[in-house]
Amino acid sequence: MSRSDETTPTSQAVPPAPLRFHGGLAGALLPFAFFLAGVAWLALAGAPDERGFWPVLLGALAVGLALARDRSAYAEAVIHGMSRPIVMVMVLAWLLAGVLAALMNASGFVEALVWLARSAGVAGGGFAAASFLLAAVVSTATGTSLGTLLLCAPLLYPAGAALGTDPVWLMGAILGGATFGDNVSPVSDTTIASATTQWADLGGVVRSRMRYALPAAAVSMTLFALVSGAAEGAGAVGARALPELSVSPRGLPMLVAPAVVIGLLLARRHLLEGLLGGAVTALGLGLGLGLFPPEAVLYVDHARFSARGLIVEGMERGIGVTVFTILLMGLVGGLEATGVLERLVDLAERRTRTVRGAELWTFGAVSGAVLLTTHSVVAILTVGDFTRRMGERFGVGPYRRANLLDVTVCTWPFLLPYCIPTILAASTTVSGEAFGMPRISPFEVGMANLHSWALLAMVLLAVLTGYGRRGEG
C-alpha cells in the first residue's frame, strides 16, 4: 500500500471506477439476491441462530467474486466494507454486552425483576407494555437502538417466563421500544443524519417528529398489552416449567450496573466506555454482595483444556452476531462499489413530477437504499442530497423531509430478518433459555415489532394524505 493510500481516506472509501459485473446490473445485484433468498429460507424455516447465516453470506460473496470483472477490486471493496470503524465498534460492544448480561443473570437480577413485577401486580401483557416503555425511555435517553437491545433484552426477556408473557410479543415489545428512541432521540445517529442532510435544526426536527412517533407508540403499546398474555405455547410452557423459581429482591442492587451504562451514555461517553463501566460495576457488585462466587467468574477447565466462566460465556454470546455483521458489511461494501445506489437515486430524480410524487420517491429511494445496505445512516446519507433537492423544488419543508427519511429507516431494518437490529434482538433471546424461554428467530421478532409496523403505516398515511405537510413547511 502506498503512502497516499494510507493518508487519503477517499482513496480507500471509493474505488477509482465503479465495479463492473458480468450480466450488468443484474449481475451486481445477484450476490445480494442470493443472500436475501438464503436468509428468507432460513427465517421461514424457523432457524433462530444467526450462525446459520454465515454460509449464506459466504456463498453470496463467492457469487459476487465469480461475477466481478475485476476480482481484485471486488475483494478490496469487500475488505473495506468489513473494516469500517463502526463495524469494530459494534463487535466490541456485543462482546462487552454479553459479559454484562452474563454477570447480571448470574447475580439473580432476573429473579429480582420477577419479584418486582409481581409486587407491582404487572404480568402478562402488562409486562410486555412495561418492557416497551422501559426500552423506549432507555433508547431515547441514549440514542442507540442496538445499545438498548444489548442492555435491556437480556434482563427483561428471561423474566417473561415466570410472568406469563408470550415470548415473541415480549421480544417484539423490547425491539419496538428500542426503535422508538432511535427515531426521536436528539442524540440518535439517524436523527442527526436526517436533520443535517436536510439543513434543518435538530430541535425543530425532534419536535415535529413527535406527531408521527407518539401516535405510533400509543397504538403499539396498547396492542402489546392486549396480545402479549402467554397463550398455550412456549411462553406458557416456560411459566409452568419454573414453579421453583426463587424470586427475591436480593439481586435488585445490580440495577446500579445498567444505571452506570445509561449515565455514561447520557454524559456523551463512548458506547464501549459505558458497557465496560457497567460490566466492571456488575462484577464488583456481584462479588462484593456475594451474589456469585469468585471462581464462577473465570476458572480453568482441566478436563477440556480451556478457560471457562461468566466472562468467557458472556463473550461467546456475541460470536454469532459478530461474524454475521462482518460478513454482511463486506457484502454491502461490494454492492456500494458498483455505484448502483447512485444510479437509482438519479432515476428517481428524473421521474418526479408532484409534491406527493416527490415524497413517494423519497420514501421509495430511502427504502431501497436501506433494503440494499441494511444500514439506516448509510441509507440516509445515500439519498439525503436527492431528498433535499427534490424537496426544495416542490416546496417540501426541511422538517418534513428529515422526518420522511428517519421514520422510513426506522421501519424496514427493525422488521426484516436479515438486518442487524432483528438479528441482534433474536440473538439476545438465548439469555432466556435457562429460565424456560425459547430462542426466537429474527423473522418472528421483526413481525412482532408492532411499533415499526405502526411507523410504516404512519409514514404512508402522511405521504398519501398530506398529514403533517403544512406544519413542517
Residue 223 maps to a domain: yes
| pLDDT higher than 90, residue 64 | yes
DSSP 3-state assignment of 157? coil
Give pLDDT tens digits for 116-142.
887 888 889 999 999 999 899 888 877
- Mean pLDDT calculated for residue range 212-229: 95
**pLDDT of res. 473:** 60
C-alpha cell at 407: 421514520
- Mean pLDDT calculated for residue range 261-272: 78
| pLDDT higher than 80, residue 230 | no
Are 48 and 319 in contact by the 8 Å Cβ rule? The answer is no
DSSP 3-state assignment of 300? strand
3-state helix, strand, coil in the chain (%, to 5): 75, 0, 20
| pLDDT higher than 60, residue 78 | yes
Lowest mean pLDDT among 46-55, 56-65, 351-360, 451-460: 46-55
Percent of the chain with pLDDT over 70: 90
Residue 138 maps to a domain: yes
Are 102 and 275 in contact by the 8 Å Cβ rule? The answer is no
Matching residue, cell 442492587: 253
Give pLDDT tens digits for 439-466.
998 999 999 999 999 999 999 999 999 9
Residue 200 maps to a domain: yes
- Using only C-alpha atoms, what is the Rg of the chain? 23
- Mean pLDDT calculated for residue range 26-41: 86
- Mean pLDDT calculated for residue range 14-24: 76
Residue 6 maps to a domain: no
Give pLDDT tens digits for 388-446.
888 888 899 999 999 999 999 999 999 998 888 998 899 899 889 888 899 998 999 99
Are 278 and 150 in contact by the 8 Å Cβ rule? The answer is no
Matching residue, cell 402467554: 230
Q: What's the predicted TM-score (pTM) here?
A: 0.75
**Cα–Cα distances in angstroms (integers) from residue 416 to residues 166, 304, 446, in the given order:** 21, 39, 6
Residue 181 maps to a domain: yes
Give pLDDT tens digits for 236-261.
444 434 434 466 888 889 888 888 88
Residue 109 maps to a domain: yes
Q: Please state at what angle helix 145-156 crosses helix 125-142, rounded to 10 degrees.
A: 150
Residue 337 maps to a domain: no
- Enclosing domain of residue 244: 86-320
Residue 155 maps to a domain: yes
C-alpha cell at 226: 392486549
Domain count, the chain: 1
